[in-house]
Structure 1
Amino acid sequence: MNLKRVVTHIACGFLFASCGAYFNQPIMNQDARIGETSGYSAKLVEFPEPAEPIVAGVYNFKDQTGQYKNVENGSTFSTAVSQGATTMLIKALEDSKWFTPIERENLGNLLNERNIIRSTRDEYRKNSNPNEPNLPPLLYAGVLLEGGIISYDSNIITGGLGARYFGVGGSTQYRQDRITVYLRAVSTSSGKVLKTVYISKTILSQAIDASLFRYVNFQRLLEVETGYTKNEPVQLAMKEAIEKAVHALIVEGIQDRLWSTKSGNELNDKLVEKYLEEKKLEESTRLYEREYFDQNLKNSFTLDLGGALYKGDYGNGELTPLIRLGYNTSLTDFMSVGLKAGVFNLKGGTAYDETFGHLDLNLEFNLLKNDKLAPFVYAGGGLMAQLASDESSSVDTSNAEGKVQYGVGVNYYLSKKFSMRLWAEHNIPFSDKLDGIESGKYTDFYYNFGLGLQYHFSFSSKSKSTDKPLEN
């Protein structure tokens, strides 16, 4: 019954993890409302004012993906993203106050209307009002904004979790898509591309459900299901990506002295510095929002402190101290070879207490090379020998024997040169003579656990240089 309650509580936890969505289920028609703002709408509106607004024209900021909406069954002719990207971009330009957008998407309609106005005024001049003013000229753009939505990637990450016990269970699923926007500013006087920015935004979909399936009496079946699905609107994700692209274009233009804020250089420098810090952080996280860490130092020394736990003919052992030194060198980006030597103690009750020295050679695999928190696994073979009991504490090589070991651990990089690692390994000698007693059908073995400090470095290689030019 206790296990059943635990499973029920887990299922309820899945269900109520996002109570806002569950308890805000629509049951009535809703009135029209002003459109939602994205996370970057407020940043654009509150951005410092420019020294002078830039007249900008947008002819067509379109969907260049050709992507249709992803469906599980059948086919659809609905596009994955909105076809109104030009309108969104013009709205973002207007909100920023840095640009004066002019109508270029439907320029033909504007020119036709101006022709109607011009011909009407000509008639008035002929018949009744010779002083009818001429139509003022159109504004022309100093900058054209081009680009579009160049990518919509479906299911870049999918996953979920579920459990069911005696008819009670729950599950959660998620899916992540990704939209990518390019925006560039082009000078109308020279045709030069002044600046190009690239922005991406993920789109999250989640589904959570819980169910109960139980016979409550003879021929009486109780079945209950509940849950919800929540999809991030593609239109809002697209709007946020475009707004962030406009924000990035303004700041990078300030950085290149293409335009300036009304307050001058001091505010310009602060805005650029803040933007560059944000850009550096975003570039380091790469695609899956994990911080990218480029470790290019190929060698390392390690100092490990920990404990050993004996398992043998004297029964369960006690945790005893261990110390060892190691050296690792990388063979590839994900594989290295390491040599470790150390001293450890094994103890089993009051009858067994011995100190050993060991020398291990391991092949290590780093599972996430470019993460600061990186798990690793390793395996290899080695030698171990009991230390002599006299005061010299020398190694008694007469009882040396071989062994194999394998282990797992996690490495955390404090900096380029220093990291800490937590590890655990299983050591299996080739014989059953570890404690001096051959008994039972299982070979004696022991576990090692530890915490290590690792120093990373590279050997400096001086390449021979010459002042002579290369010859073909």
Structure 2
Amino acid sequence: MPRRRSSAALLALLTGAILLLGGCASMDPAFETRDAHPGLESTVHDSMTMLPQPASPVVTAVYQFRDQTGQYKRKERGSTFSRAVTQGGTAILMDALADSDWFRPIERKGLSNLTQERDIIRSIRQQYEGDRAQPLSPLLFAGILLEGGIIGFDSNVISGGGGFRLFSIGGSGEYRRNQVTVYLRAVSTQTGEVLKTVHTTKTIISQQLQGSATRFIAPNLFLETEAGISYNEPKTLAVTEAIDAAVRDLTIEGMRDGLFSPADTAAARAVIDRYEESKARAAQRDYFDRLLQPDNRSGLGVEVGGGGNILQGDVQGTSFNPSGALALRYPLSPRWALGLQNTAGRISAAGDFGETVLSTELNMTYYFAPRAQFTPFLRASGGVVTQFPEPYRLTNTASLLGGGSVGVEYMVNEDLGVSTAFEVRYTIDDALDNERVGSFNDSLWG
């Protein structure tokens, strides 16, 4: 019988391992080669190419659009001279300009090669045709010059992960977010004036999932299985997306400011309005792409809450009881708020003990991210608690108490928030439950 159970366990573990590995392989055909295919377009390529048509394209020159970060690729061991981001920014920008239909790009990166080839053509024509040789067409000159580059690559802007393990079975996940920043400016070739500057930022996500299981399937036989998958967003494609977005934004801002002329003014106005709305939304986000609400808790607020509490005292068999709270809260600064709170609830225990208590407290709240939509907070409080409806007489019916709470708050909008917290409040005496036993005072956990 034990041998049969061991065989069944072995079969189950092997089956699970095969299914897990097969599932990972089905998500990404890592064991198959793929033929060469046209390059993938960025996610903003369509929005760049679907802009209203221009009255006439602008002849544009780009001498170089290079990596200005100077960063090398990270490596756990040893050193490497590979760059952190692509060195082909000029080629990516030229492709974006050609696809946008608003610009007529001319070759300047390889100008020396171009002029040398034109000299060869003139020399050959002169050699075979003599004075009858036709002159070459003149080179186009640019109306605007595009400058800029990849000016930032920030690693590990946000990183984290989590995992679990129960006996010998567990799994974990990790993530990391990098970001690349691109600046693009248009310069007039007639006056040298910088006509417009735009910048865009693109995040780069890396994720990894792992799972493993181990088990003794026989006294001398140990089985271990593991599987995992990782996903790394291509950096070159991220740079392409940032450059496409920069060309799109430069075109829209040029239309808005009268630098470029659209063929359809009404369609251009609609695009400009949508762009202004997106810029307003982007201005409400911080460096970590969190939505900021500068007017959160801007005035006197009313807080209504409900929950429960447990008495930690001298009576046995205490239970969880409902409670309710009403508070006024006034912001002293974006991070600090002063509050006055009344809380009513039941405290009870096994047997015949049961009372309603009422507390009145002053508290001070500290918000860790006051302008974010989601923020943790700490709260310190102090006040008086009494058995209801007894009056607040500190000599025999009321006790001073103090404590604190930790919680999180989600702002639905600037004037409405939802929060949850865990709090502990201690009394300065041991009479809240009508018993004075031991050396620890009564406390309320809620």
User: TM-score scaled by structure 1?
Assistant: 0.82
Map 1:322-471 to 2 at 5 A: 322-330=324-332, 333-341=334-342, 343-348=344-349, 351-388=352-389, 398-439=396-437, 442-448=440-446
Map 1:31-70 to 2 at 5 A: 31-70=35-74
SS at match of 1:244: helix
> Are the equivalent residues in 2 in contact too, given 1:322–1:345 (CA < 8 A)?
no
The 2-side partners of 1:215 and 1:293 are apart by: 55
Partner amino acid for 1:166? Answer: F
Map 1:34-433 to 2 at 5 A: 34-126=38-130, 130-264=131-265, 266-295=266-295, 300-311=300-311, 313=315, 315-317=317-319, 319-330=321-332, 333-341=334-342, 343-348=344-349, 351-388=352-389, 398-433=396-431
Partner amino acid for 1:178? Answer: Q
SS at match of 1:67: coil
SS at match of 1:48: coil
CA 1:134 to 1:83, structure 2 compared with 1: closer, same or farther past 3 Å? same
Deviations 1:78-137 (A, max 9, x none): 1111111100000000111110100000101111111222233333443xxx54432111
> Are the equivalent residues in 1 in contact too, given 2:54–2:263 (CA < 8 A)?
yes
The 2-side partners of 1:284 and 1:193 are apart by: 27
> Are the equivalent residues in 2 in contact too, given 1:326–1:341 (CA < 8 A)?
no
User: TM-score scaled by structure 2?
Assistant: 0.87
SS at match of 1:199: strand
Partner amino acid for 1:425? Answer: E
CA 1:199 to 1:16, structure 2 compared with 1: closer, same or farther past 3 Å? farther
The 1-side partners of 2:335 and 2:378 are apart by: 11
Partner amino acid for 1:253? Answer: G
CA 1:397 to 1:334, structure 2 compared with 1: closer, same or farther past 3 Å? same
The 2-side partners of 1:220 and 1:310 are apart by: 50
Q: CA deviation at 1:153?
A: 1.3
Q: CA deviation at 1:326?
A: 2.8
Q: CA deviation at 1:61?
A: 0.5
The 2-side partners of 1:394 and 1:180 are apart by: 62
Deviations 1:252-300 (A, max 9, x none): 1111111132112x11211011111112222322222211122476653
- Percent of aligned pairs sharing the same letter: 36
CA 1:350 to 1:300, structure 2 compared with 1: closer, same or farther past 3 Å? farther
> Are the equivalent residues in 2 in contact too, given 1:387–1:396 (CA < 8 A)?
no
Q: How many residues align?
A: 431
Q: Greater CA deviation, 190-199 or 351-360? A: 351-360
Q: Greater CA deviation, 216-225 or 198-207? A: 216-225
SS at match of 1:284: coil
Alignment RMSD, CA only?
Answer: 3.0
SS at match of 2:254: helix
SS at match of 1:254: helix
CA 1:362 to 1:394, structure 2 compared with 1: closer, same or farther past 3 Å? closer
Q: CA deviation at 1:430?
A: 1.8
CA 1:436 to 1:165, structure 2 compared with 1: closer, same or farther past 3 Å? closer
> Are the equivalent residues in 2 in contact too, given 1:207–1:229 (CA < 8 A)?
yes
SS at match of 1:288: coil
In structure 2, runs of 5+ residues without a counterpart are 1-8
Aligned residue for 2:5?
none
Deviations 1:412-431 (A, max 9, x none): 33443444444442222122
Q: Greater CA deviation, 50-59 or 436-445? A: 436-445
Q: CA deviation at 1:145?
A: 0.5
The 2-side partners of 1:363 and 1:290 are apart by: 25
Q: Greater CA deviation, 169-178 or 231-240? A: 169-178
In structure 1, runs of 5+ residues without a counterpart are 449-472
Deviations 1:44-67 (A, max 9, x none): 233321111110000010111111
CA 1:226 to 1:414, structure 2 compared with 1: closer, same or farther past 3 Å? closer
Deviations 1:312-360 (A, max 9, x none): 6264246345343334342x54344433345555455784454444332
The 2-side partners of 1:432 and 1:131 are apart by: 115
The 2-side partners of 1:44 and 1:111 are apart by: 32
